[in-house]
């Protein structure tokens, strides 16, 4: 897919002028996503993903396009974990945009400041560096933006404006319509109505006592993939699970992930 149209003689930079791949929609990727999705206790999430898989199959589009998701749930419930797992299963690049950090706003709307280099916005960078037109972009801390800024952000998601996103650093107009947005939020009342109506809400829940091991095994898999030790973990998966399950109760997903990383670094590296 050609995503960028240059408005200088040099054309789009960072290879954006070349066709980018659209991923996650072939039979193998859909089968991997369908069989490997997990999250048995996240019924709403599973419904949304399964509907997207079914739509991709019925429309015969060879790439995965999720509706822009609003992942609702208390901090620590595993929103970023969900985004990263789906990205891994669908073989899509993933980036995080954190608005709770002032640098996050700069990542979306870079500004020239003295000698600082003007960079493309984060979704454009993800597309260019991932060579993929439909990356997953996790958005954290949306509540930290003022209503007017949220309206500006909505332009990245709204199909009409997203198709003609002007990026001065890339010297091009970039089509962002295939980007898979996952906006995280714990207080829906803090969202601007215009943004809210563009997003498909998905309520995420903490696992209960019975499903906690299922949550732990997903986080362990994420950490093992990140460290590249899935193969080495094979004979120790039981020990790792037993150790993590002991500490997982009442811990956030990020804390479980950190514990899993430490365990893997100690035992598998």
Partner 1 sequence: MSAEFRSTGAALLEAHRSGASCWPAAEPEEGSVLLLAAAPITGRDRAYREVWRSYVGIERVRTVFEWMSARPEEWDLWGRVATLFGDSALHTIIVEAAEREAETAAIEAEEARLKEEERRLLSRKVELYILDPKAKRPGLSLESGHETKPFFVMRFSEKWERERVLDWLRWQKDRYLDFRDLCEAEGQLALERLIIAGMRETEAQMKAQRRTSGGRRPLRFWRGEA
Q: Does 27 bind partner 1 (CB under 8 A)?
A: no
The token pair at 198 is 């563009």
| Sites for partner 1 among residues 87-146 (CB under 8 A) | none
Contact indicator for 131, 15 with CB cutoff of 8 Å:
yes
- How many residues bind to partner 1 according to rule CB under 8 A? 20
| Sites for partner 1 among residues 31-50 (CB under 8 A) | 35-36, 38, 40
Rank residues 34 and 173 by Cβ distance to partner 1 and give the closer one.
34
| Sites for partner 1 among residues 193-222 (CB under 8 A) | 210, 213-214, 217-218, 220-221
Rank residues 17 and 36 by Cβ distance to partner 1 and give the closer one.
36
Whole-number Cα distances in Å, 194 to 25, 95, 197: 30, 24, 6
Rank residues 210 and 269 by Cβ distance to partner 1 and give the closer one.
210
Pattern 230-249, partner 1, x by CB under 8 A:
x--xxxxxx--x--------
User: Under the rule (CB under 8 A), what is the footprint of partner 1?
Assistant: 35-36, 38, 40, 210, 213-214, 217-218, 220-221, 224, 230, 233-238, 241
């Amino acid at each position: 897919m050609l995503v960028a149209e240059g408005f200088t003689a040099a054309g789009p930079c960072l290879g954006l002028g070349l066709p980018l791949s659209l991923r996650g929609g072939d039979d193998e990727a859909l089968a991997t996503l369908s069989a490997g999705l997990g999250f048995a206790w996240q019924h709403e999430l599973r419904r949304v993903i399964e509907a997207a898989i079914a739509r991709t199959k019925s429309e015969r589009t060879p790439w995965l396009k999720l509706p822009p998701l609003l992942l609702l749930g208390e901090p620590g419930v595993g929103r970023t974990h969900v985004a990263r797992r789906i990205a891994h299963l669908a073989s899509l690049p993933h980036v995080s945009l954190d608005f709770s950090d002032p640098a996050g706003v700069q990542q979306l709307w870079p500004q020239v400041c003295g000698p600082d280099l003007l960079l493309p916005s984060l979704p454009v960078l993800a597309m260019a560096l991932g060579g993929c037109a439909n990356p997953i972009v996790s958005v954290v801390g949306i509540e930290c933006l003022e209503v007017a800024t949220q309206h500006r952000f909505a332009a990245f998601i709204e199909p009409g404006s997203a198709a003609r996103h002007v990026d001065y650093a890339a010297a091009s107009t970039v089509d962002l319509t295939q980007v898979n947005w996952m906006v995280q939020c714990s207080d829906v009342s803090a969202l601007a109505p215009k943004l809210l109506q563009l997003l498909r809400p998905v309520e995420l829940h903490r696992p209960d006592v019975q499903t906690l091991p299922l949550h732990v095994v997903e986080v362990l898999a994420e950490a093992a993939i990140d460290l590249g030790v899935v193969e080495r973990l094979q004979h120790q998966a039981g020990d790792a699970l037993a150790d993590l399950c002991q500490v997982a109760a009442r811990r956030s997903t990020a804390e479980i992930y950190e514990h899993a990383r430490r365990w893997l670094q100690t035992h598998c590296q």
